[in-house]
Amino acid sequence: MAARLQKSLRDLDDGSFDAILKRVEQVTENKEEQMEELTKIVVKNFVNKVRMRRSRSPGELGVGVLLNIANVPRKKRSWMGVSKRQKVRNINNTTGLNSSDIPTPPEELVEHIKNMYGPQQLVLVIEKNLAHSDLNSHQGRFSIPRLQVRAKFLEPDEKHKLKKSQSIDVTIIDPSFEETTLTLKRWRMNKTFSYMLCGKWNEVKGRNAEAFKVNAKTHAVVQLWSFRRNPSRLCFALNVVA
Question: Residue 209 corresponds to which amino acid?
Answer: A
Tell me: do 142 and 167 sit in the same domain.
yes
Q: What does the longest C-alpha to C-alpha distance in the chain come to?
A: 55
What sign results for the dihedral spanned by CA atoms 2, 22, 94, 238? positive
Low-confidence ranges of the chain (pLDDT < 50): 55-99
Model pLDDT for residues 200-242, shown as the tens digit of each residue: 999 999 999 999 987 767 889 999 999 999 888 999 999 999 6
Tell me: do 77 and 26 sit in the same domain.
yes
Tell me: do 10 and 86 sit in the same domain.
yes
Tell me: do 46 and 165 sit in the same domain.
no
Relative to beta strand 179-189, strand 168-173 is: antiparallel
Task: Give Cα 172 to chain centroid, integer Å.
Answer: 17
Tell me: do 94 and 191 sit in the same domain.
no
β-strand partners of 148: none
For residue 94, how many other CB atoms are within 10 A of its CB? 18
Please state, in angstroms and as integers, the Cα–Cα distance from residue 55 to each residue in 11, 44, 61, 185, 203, following that order: 22, 19, 10, 47, 53
Residue 132 contacts by C-beta under 8 Å, 6 or more apart in sequence?
Answer: 32, 219
**188 vs 98: CA distance, rounded Å:** 34
Question: What pLDDT is stored for residue 14 in this prediction?
Answer: 53
Instruction: Name the domain boundary from 48, 70, 101.
Output: 101
Long-range contacts at 108-114 (CB < 8 A, ≥ 24 apart): 109/173, 109/225, 109/237, 109/239, 112/173, 112/177, 113/173, 113/227, 113/237
Tell me the DSSP string of 98-157.
-GGGS----HHHHHHHHHHHSS---EEEEEEEPPGGGG-TTT--EEEEGGG--S----HH
Question: What pLDDT is stored for residue 80 in this prediction?
Answer: 40
pTM score: 0.60
The domain in which residue 207 lies consists of 107-240
Tell me: do 31 and 134 sit in the same domain.
no
CB 106 within 8 A of CB 122: no
Tell me: do 74 and 156 sit in the same domain.
no
Question: What pLDDT is stored for residue 17 in this prediction?
Answer: 67
Instruction: Name the domain boundary from 101, 116, 145.
Output: 101
**36 vs 70: CA distance, rounded Å:** 13
Residue 74 contacts by C-beta under 8 Å, 6 or more apart in sequence?
Answer: 83, 84
Tell me: do 68 and 134 sit in the same domain.
no
Number of domains in the chain: 2
